[in-house]
Amino acid sequence: MKYEQLAKDIIKNVGGKENVNSLTHCVTRLRFKLKDEKKANTDILKNMDGVVTVVQSGGQYQVVIGNHVPDVYADVAAVGGFAAAASEETTEEKVSILNRFIDMISGVFTPALGVMCATGMIKGFNSMFVALGWIDNTSGTYNILQAIGDCMFYFFPIFLGYTAAKKFKVNEFIGMGIGAALVYPALLGLTKGEPLFTLFSGTVIQSPVYVTFLGIPVILMNYSSTVIPIILAVFVGGKIEKVFKKIIPDVVKTFLVPFCTLIIAVPLTFIVIGPVATWAGQLIGSATLAIYNLSPVIEGIFVGAFWQVFVIFGLHWGLVPIMINNISVFGYDPVLAPMAGASFAQTGVVLAILLKTKNAKLKSIAFPAFISGIFGVTEPAIYGVTLPRKKPFILSCIGAAIGGGIVGFMGSKLYIMGGMGIFTIPSYMGKNGIDGGFYGAVISIVVSFVLGFLLMFIAGFKDDEAAQEAKKEVTETPLVKQEVLVSPIKGEVKPLSEIKDEAFSSGALGKGIAIEPVEGKVVAPVDGVLTTFFPTGHALGITSDSGAEILIHVGMDTVQLDGKHFTPKAKQGDIVKAGDVLLEFDINAIKSEGYSVITPVIVTNSAQYLDVIETDKKAINYNEDLLTVMI
């Protein structure tokens, strides 16, 4: 076995074969599911010859190898005696409760965020138009805009019923049915007049009962805009659905499974799940407000300073439901309001770097990062500019902390889940229109931006000009030969640093560039041989006639689709010409499954060359120059 010793070392440092639940591989990495990731020697593996890096993500312990991973996988499987993968249930038990909670929340809310922000922006701007006297709140214009702005939040249980069903692997229409029942208008009309009797009289959860279901008291509540009841209801509904799927004959499953699930899940939700979840939401809201009221300024400084850190680690998903819950329960949320200045502090730091740097490549990254930061999309700024240089990121957190303190001091509140960046401003406008809290948010944004800019401009940073000049000299030397790789994909060009996968973003797999596709087709970037075409179709490798090894990896973690939505148009071993169609894929279907389609194009043996120079185009078509390999 060619990689026998490497295989033995890998198995030893993932905690031994007894620590491995299952092992698979994709086009560049071994994907372990370990019983206990703490037993793995991550630092030793990262520094091991033959291992590029280690990525821990999605409950998988990923050892990045490179293009020859199938050979290493075969030897690891042989040495370890790994057979069929263990059941996923065994592995999932070892995932921490926090990680499982964050994964659940992000899976439920992420698909709805775009429309949620859009409708929130419309509602916010509508309130601003009334406050400025541009329209009247009795006009048709106002009411139609308000209908658009309110449509999602009012019927939130239906939207979340769909996304929660997808996350919990339940029939999506069952999830929507449960959500629609919760906001059925006629039920609210039953709460008029004298109640039949009162439950829990004299307690904080005293509840009048107006109707019964089969003699069982039903506590009717207003579930419009609520979050927790529908998520719990769909989770329980999924358990009920699984039971009936097992016992109902296939010939009548299509209608009997939804019938039995809904007729049990919906009454159960009204009788037990809904009231308990609503009370839980009220308690969570009261608890968070109590913490906030201890010192709004300190809470504001804390949230402002660490908001970007929360985003990096995905912890903000655990806080977003608190904000939405508070808006539902109280009509506002002051707890996460201090995050207003965080993106602007980051953007101010990037502007200072953009003005001071003489590094052309850094300028090319910083400028689009600055533009996107204005609109609240700070990932390009964080991952491409500030975080790799450490000090700029810390300074942005300081600016955001001061801005957060101002929000706490001024008592600013979020009244809607609105847009990001400059579009978040109307979210701070409530029934009183433009008041002190609104001005506090605006002041916070301005101060955060200015502080971030000044701190960075005064402190300065190491601008690697020497390396830039050396690179320039190499590219201008007439003795240097070059090979041009044309674009295999049509789409928006992005730096590798924007990819949320350390193996690609760090350049560990080689130099290259990323493309956000606008068309589901991959063509050959060079003349050469299709040396690797992964069975799932999501990734392929080409060796050019001059020896450059190119990896094209469509999307992130798309190996888990197991070939679904990918249609290969060539096969491994084919001799190809630049422009030949190699693969077709369904962009919308892949995205609907929850996967990113951003596609890295990597020269995996770039260490053998003088340099790999990326195009400066922002958008690119097939067969346009993408990468230049300096030989």
- For residue 428, the 8-state DSSP code is G
Name the residues annotated as catalytic. Answer: 26
For residue 313, pLDDT over 70 is answered with no
Both tokens assigned to 605 = 């043996």
593: which residues sit within 8 A by CB, 6+ positions away? Answer: 561, 564, 565
Tens-place pLDDT, residues 414-464: 988 777 788 888 889 887 778 899 999 999 999 999 999 999 999 887 664
- For residue 87, the 8-state DSSP code is P
CATH class of 4-95: alpha beta
Looking at residue 443, its pLDDT comes to 96
What values do phi and psi take at 521, rounded to 5?
-145, 140
Whole-number average pLDDT of the chain: 85
Q: Which of 55-59, 292-296, 584-588 has the lowest mean pLDDT?
A: 55-59
CA distance 10 to 396: 39
259: which residues sit within 8 A by CB, 6+ positions away? Answer: none
Q: Which of 55-69, 533-547, 615-629 has the lowest mean pLDDT?
A: 55-69
Q: At what angle do helices 156-167 and 228-247 cross, to 10 degrees?
A: 50
For residue 97, pLDDT over 70 is answered with no
Looking at residue 479, its pLDDT comes to 42
Average pLDDT over residues 301-328: 78
Q: Bigger pLDDT: 608 or 600?
A: 600
CA distance 138 to 169: 44
Q: Which of 149-153, 267-271, 478-482, 580-584 has the lowest mean pLDDT?
A: 478-482
> Where do the CATH 2.70.70.10 domains begin and end in the chain?
476-630
Average pLDDT over residues 145-166: 90
Looking at residue 423, its pLDDT comes to 83
Q: Which residues of 301-333 are buried (b: 16+ CB within 10 A; e: fewer)?
A: bbbbbbbbebbeeeebbebbbbbbbbbbbeebb
Q: Which of 99-103, 125-129, 502-506, 575-579 has the lowest mean pLDDT?
A: 99-103
- DSSP H or E stretch at residue 523: strand 521-523
Nearest to 325 by CA among 411, 420, 225: 225
Overall fold of domain 476-630:
Glucose Permease (Domain IIA) (2.70.70)
Q: What confidence tier does 316 reach under pLDDT thresholds 50, 70, 90?
A: low
- DSSP H or E stretch at residue 542: strand 539-544
- Cβ(360)–Cβ(468) below 8 Å: yes
For residue 138, pLDDT over 80 is answered with yes
Tens-place pLDDT, residues 25-51: 766 778 888 988 899 999 899 888 888
- Cβ(528)–Cβ(541) below 8 Å: no
Nearest to 344 by CA among 426, 245, 214, 453: 453
Both tokens assigned to 91 = 């592995």
Q: Which of 63-67, 187-191, 337-341, 402-406 has the lowest mean pLDDT?
A: 63-67
Q: How many CB atoms lie within 10 A of CB 530?
A: 20
3-state secondary structure at position 447: helix
Nearest to 28 by CA among 488, 496, 485, 510: 510
CA distance 405 to 410: 9
For residue 409, pLDDT over 50 is answered with yes
> Where do the CATH 3.30.1360.60 domains begin and end in the chain?
4-95
Q: Bigger pLDDT: 90 or 534?
A: 534
Average pLDDT over residues 139-160: 90
520: which residues sit within 8 A by CB, 6+ positions away? Answer: 584, 585, 586, 587
Q: What confidence tier does 103 reach under pLDDT thresholds 50, 70, 90?
A: low
3-state secondary structure at position 255: helix
For residue 512, pLDDT over 90 is answered with yes
For residue 473, pLDDT over 60 is answered with no
pTM value? 0.51
Identity of the amino acid at 390: K
For residue 468, pLDDT over 50 is answered with no
Average pLDDT over residues 111-127: 79
For residue 234, pLDDT over 80 is answered with yes
- Residue owning tokens 């006629």: 186
